[in-house]
Amino acid sequence: MRRGYTQRQIEILTLMAKYGVLGSKIIQSLLKKPISSIRLRESLYGMEKRGLICRIAMGVGGSPMTYWMLPDEDSVKSHALKASGLDQKFFRNKRVRYSHIPHESFCTYVHASLERQMPTLWVYRESTAHFKSLPDHLLSEMAKESGYTPDLCIGVPKKNANSAHGQAGYRWIAVEVDRTNRSKKRIAQRLNIYTKHSAFSGLLYLMPSEAAMCSLTEIYSTRGGKDSFRLRGAANSFLSIGTVENKLFDVNDKPIYCGGFVLPLGTWLSLFSLSDAHERDRYFTEFSVPAMGKLLKDTEDDNDRK
């Protein structure tokens, strides 16, 4: 234990330095040892009084919510990094607009679920030094100038690769998280970037509803993305879509829809260790079952009930 901090305070500082702004519910779910809401609130208020963290109160969906983050002062951030022992390259130094805070929460659940259950992956969050060190060729200059940046990047180690290969020993997957419905035009623009102006091996797109997932699939199939020359026969396994989770989730139990099939997220990610894109597509059909028809039917049933 570092002088002047309890073990719990160090853990909370580490979480905020790594993930950014956090709600009490997320902090409670990320802590290693279970803690009651009352005890957690006492710890957070105590840290606030010491100037270690600050509070943001806002309304989400008509309900009051409290979020916590490190103060903007560089000296406080420096103390937090020193106390947590977190590597500087993982530190999230981002100013978040109030309207974006709920989106940050969803990204944190994805980030934490992946890195805790699949430790061989490299999971990079935007607004970190680690993210900025990603290979330059992943996004074209046009994409960068237009401000297109994925919420997270996942590095999947290639088969037979070792630490000596560094970043070259990984295949990179972009992650987009949409908490609310987007227009078809905006979705099409994003797909155009990832299928034609990037070097990502795959795209995980998490949507707010199954209806939105169906819309995304239609756009991918009809507006040229699926037939992009860059994908070179890997179109079936390139794009996977799922719903956003407002909690930590099991990657081996999280269904994602890909090329008209359904399979666990963990399985889809593991396929990217294979060296050949055509081989990935072949294995893809073995590990999945036809599902898009079921997805469309479920969506129609939901609409009928409404």
Q: What is the pLDDT of residue 247?
A: 93
Torsional sign, CA 239, 241, 245, 250: negative
Which of 142, 147, 143, 203 is CA-nearest to residue 178? 203
Q: What is the pLDDT of residue 293?
A: 47
pLDDT along the chain (306 residues), means of 10: 76 91 94 94 94 81 79 78 75 73 91 95 84 82 81 89 69 93 89 87 93 89 64 72 94 90 91 73 64 47 49
> CA dihedral defined by 13, 115, 177, 34, rounded to 10 degrees?
-50
The answer to whether residues 160 and 189 touch, using CB atoms and an 8 Å cutoff, is no
Q: What is the pLDDT of residue 285?
A: 63
Q: What is the pLDDT of residue 297?
A: 46
CATH topology (fold) of 1-88: Arc Repressor Mutant, subunit A (1.10.10)
Domain spans, the chain? 1-88, 94-305
